Copies of this chain bind each other. A is one copy, B any other.
Amino acid sequence: MSKNSSNIMALVPKTSNKRETVCIFGTGDFGRALGHKLIQSGYPVVFGSRSPWPSSLIPKDAEVLSHAEAAQKAAIIIIAIQRQHYDFLASLEETLHGKVLVDISNNLKINQYPESNAKYLAQLVPSARVVKAFNTVSAWALQSGTLDASRQVFVCGDDTEAKQMVMDIVRALGLTPLDQGSLLAAREIENYPLQLFPLWKLPFFLSLGLTTFFFFYCLVRDVIYPCVYENKDYSFYLAISIPNRICPIMALVLLALVYLPGVLAAIIQLYRGTKYSRFPDWLDRWMLCRKQLGLVALAFASLHAIYTLVIPIRYYVRWTVEDRTISQALNNKTTPFDNTNGWLSDSYLALGILGFFLFVLLGITSLPSVSNNVNWREFRFVQSKLGYLTLILCTAHTLVYGGKWFLSPSSYRWYLPNAYMLSLIIPCVVLVVKFVLILPCLDKQLTQIRQGWERNPQYSELSNHIINKSAV
């Protein structure tokens, strides 16, 4: 639809307009794009410029005047110039008295200046009413109508009426205004477009670190050990075998780490006997990025699934099978079918398939458009009940896969256990503690605490944070 909407947008209406004139300071890319869009939506637009003659780039229906003249024509002035050129606005103080100044600027670095650009503007022209808006919208998106990224426009300002006027314009342009409070919020709003997946940082670095550790662990056990002791070259394990050992480990560990903070929070609440005291900062941060942790775990699980399915196509595997078959045939010997092996092999595969299936289901329900369509009871049912079921299935998958090798001395090379054994520690701890927590006696107390009951009411005076409420 983007192409059409872009065409539709291109039609300049000849309307009996009643919208208020909007003034734009600056004729750069963003100023012009916003001007175009405003004219299409029926606003008369006047540009304020140092060089007030019409340029071929400026929309035809817009006037171009000097800054002072343009400012007088409108109640709302959009400041589409860069912060370092704001100074001259101080000289227009008189003209700008009581006007709504919309700061749309962005910086090149996070926290580049001590105060936000909007605050700086408000200090320069104290008699104007400054509103921060539009800085998250791209000029290209505005112009072409292909708002692939967000339609949301964060708005903040100290003057409610001025904010309302700007939000009305935002709505008229077909965008969604989000009121973010006072001008203090401008700092966050200005940092927003510079952020690169802030909530993904912790999960990313955590999994990077763990992956590196397990990579060298497996390298030592599976490539260097046979090279040293058996003089065999297994370096090609680096391409598939070792990644396919790391991926399931990472998936299981990260999935367990999604549920660990909830269990820790429950223990803290039980110990303190109240929900009104604040959790430690690290726990808060951890809880906020659980969704991201889970999605990274899902990525590893998906890679594990593909790596596993690809096994029979590998030259190494095909060669091994053929070689074994031929040598058996030449030795005239057949192995009888082992029913236990049949059971073990099939059940760890089945457990893995079901676990992966539920995992993907969890991933799908965490898509914004899906989670928007369920109520809280449904959302928690999926994320909590189904989530634990997934954890149980994946842990069982690993346990059965390990099977009889757990105690076999041959799986300890240089006293290093097989890597999957390490991966079982956290999931098993989480599952055992969770199992203890849902014992009726503890569960009942926990429910009471979460409904507001306090073992030791004075506690609540320590903190006015209620954010921990039902977070777990």
Contact = CB atoms under 8 A, between A and B. Distances in A.
A16 B369 contact: no
B12 A182 contact: yes
Contact of A346 (B160, B236, B329): B236
A313 B322 contact: no
Contacts of A470: 138-140
Contact of A357 (B302, B326, B381): B302
Given A330-B329, A350-B239, A181 B40 contact: yes
Interface string A132-164: 000010111101101011111010111111000
A308 to B, nearest CB: 7
A374 interface: yes
**Most interface-central of A323, A360, A370, A378 (chain B CB within 10 A):** A378
A162 to B, nearest CB: 9
Using C-beta atoms within 8 Å of the partner chain, give the interface range for chain A: 35 or more
Interface stretch (A97-105, A214-222, A456-464): A456-464
Contact of A466 (B29, B138, B182, B307): B29
A375 interface: yes
A57 B160 contact: no
A271 interface: no
Contacts of A239: 343, 346-347, 349-350
B466 A143 contact: yes
A143 B467 contact: yes
A189 B8 contact: yes
A114 interface: no
Contact of A326 (B8, B329, B452): B329
A15 interface: yes
Contact of A367 (B196, B369, B374): B369
A330 B332 contact: yes
A273 to B, nearest CB: 16
A299 B195 contact: no
Given A319-B337, A342-B236, A373 B378 contact: no
A17 to B, nearest CB: 5
A339 interface: yes
Given A9-B180, A57-B276, A174-B179, A139 B469 contact: yes
A324 B321 contact: no
B460 A57 contact: yes
A1 interface: yes
A429 interface: no
Given A182-B11, A196-B378, A315-B346, A160 B19 contact: yes
Given A195-B378, A469-B139, A9 B181 contact: yes
A459 to B, nearest CB: 11
A192 interface: yes
Contacts of A6: 288
Contact of A8 (B28, B185, B349, B361): B185
A247 to B, nearest CB: 10
A115 interface: no
B148 A377 contact: no
Nearest to A306: B353
B335 A319 contact: yes
Given A160-B42, A182-B13, A308 B302 contact: no
Given A57-B460, A288-B3, A346-B316, A307 B372 contact: no
A309 interface: yes
9 contacts: A4-B188, A15-B160, A41-B181, A56-B460, A143-B469, A150-B371, A196-B381, A299-B361, A322-B325
> Which 4 pairs from chain A and chain B are nearest by CB?
A13-B182, A369-B369, A315-B345, A239-B346
